[in-house]
Structure 1
Amino acid sequence: MTNDAKVICQRMDLLFKRLARTKYWLQVVNDHYDHSYNVFFNSQRKYERLKSVPLHTIATYDLSYLEKVLGDLRTHTQLTIEFEGFSGQLWPDSQRLIERVKNHYE
């Protein structure tokens, strides 16, 4: 497991409370300006506001490395992972789109 994945898992485990009627997910944001990836832990109870907590910044700006970190995260947790700022980019190994284009009218 990579060091970045270990840090993210440790911080995520502290925040994941398994409360009823609460959605939990991770969000990975591509920061074009700082050439890094930011990982957030999101939770939202029913009828309440979204809480987004920054977990970690991955300084290695390489999609292959990010794919490895996310593989480690997926073995640790089954939380959904959303992607932001990756439009038009493909994963190096699978050649699949990272982020699906969202319809703003949904």
Structure 2
Amino acid sequence: MSAVIVVHGGAWAIPNDLGKASVDGVKASAREGFAVLQKNGTALDAVESAVRALEDNTVLNAGHGATPNTDGEVEMDALIVDGKTLACDAVSSVKNIANPVSLARAVMKKVPKYMD
């Protein structure tokens, strides 16, 4: 079975001077996720890896490059879903977290589920 990784670098008007860097960042993120699959990682591992690459890229509107709120602070949300089991979890308005997607995944692993 072949796989496809689709990512986006944020919903904002990308300035012309950041266009190439934004495209390069999105491509690098997709490659990062695909590399996980090539090493027999799970789809969930690949998603987390790809999103971490987005969050680590200061050019993109995620993680380190996220847009500050009206108080000038960066607050981030993240959601992660396991398509196989439909397990999911999210975090909201987190601050001072380098990779909110990994925090959401950690919450998914640790919080007891009452609807099983």
- TM > 0.5: no
Larger radius of gyration: 2
Relative to the length of structure 2, the TM-score reads 0.28
As a proportion of its length, which structure holds more helix? Answer: 2
Normalised by the size of structure 1, how large is the TM-score? 0.29
More strand, by proportion = 1
